[in-house]
Amino acid sequence: MSDYYEILGVSRDASQDQIKKAYRRLARELHPDVAGEDAGDRFKDVARAYEVLSNPEKRQQYDLGVDPSAPGGGTGPMGGGFGFQDIFETFFGGGQAQQGPIPRARRGQDALVRLDIDLAEATFGAQRELQVDTAVVCGTCGGTCCRPGTSPRTCDVCHGRGTVQRVARSFLGQVMTSAPCAACQGFGTVIPEPCAECSGEGRVRSRRTITVNVPAGVDTGTRIKLTAQGEVGPAGGPAGDLYVEIRERNHDTFVRRGDDLHCTLQVPMTAAALGTVLELETLDGPQEIDLRPGTQPGQIVTLKNLGVGHLHGSGRGDLNVHIEVQVPTALDPEQEQLLRSLAALRGEERPEPRLAAAHPGVFSRLRDKLSGR
């Protein structure tokens, strides 16, 4: 069994695009006008290899050890199913084997716009009004491309077929090819009097307002697809899709990590030692933080289900409150005496330093300080 990958000069994991490019390159090299009549047999091998490898089903059979181009194994290189259009494109510079004219109305392009939202909108979801500049159907001609009262006229050159035929000689003999009609660009019709509003395009640019439903859980980079809200195609063709890319603004208090929120709560040294109940303003309103006696610096208090809503699924993330204990830097004589008395009672007049494992947050804060953040 011939090695079709070697014949085309591609690897076994080559993509369809790579296979097609390799075939076209070899077909040009093996053209009789370039390589002479002796290249005919090699061209047949190249054509047979391309026929098999360009067809996903036949390629799968070939990779399993079955040559579908062999007798009884499928159509041969010049049998039914062979891509003559590729030969025409290679030899005659883009000839088409299409049947009938090209539709003048075609699908429009997709569009991309960006939408800035705040953390609360990302947490709970929101409905936003967005202004976009896109192509819409021309209101004057309704997408016909013609001046009102007129209509397209059948092309006098191709008589509505959209293509013209010609006969060319090749090593295969006389071959009849089809090419797009230059007079009508392949449409089969011409616009004798184009619409003045859209210049015969059937569409104009306009600013319009659309409503975007932002689901809870979106983050920077999330794209929301709005079907058929993009550019209207030429001649009033179907509209493409509109993609809204989310950009989330930074919050003054909370930092988002996935669907969890983080914030820092500063408490006095005495409150951390004695314990207290504090009130924290969250996205859901005021929430009480119960600090136990002996709360340590860097300790985290987790408030369940007060984070960002999950984009795919129900529920929400958590709010993690990082406790930062404030140590006084200036004491009056009475405060200093009270602290000294407390230290004496605890036997801490001259405390011995001890090394202990640091909380992971200590390292991150140290890195931030050293880097000047």
**Residue 181 labeled ligand binder:** yes
**Residue 263 labeled ligand binder:** no
pLDDT tens-digit map of 254-287? 999 999 999 999 998 888 888 999 999 999 999 9
| Amino acid identity, position 247 | R
The overall average pLDDT reported for the chain is 83
**Residue 155 labeled ligand binder:** yes
**Residue 145 labeled ligand binder:** no
**Residue 184 labeled ligand binder:** yes
**Residue 198 labeled ligand binder:** yes
Percent of the chain with pLDDT over 90: 50
So what's the pLDDT on residue 117? 97
Quote the pTM value. Answer: 0.62
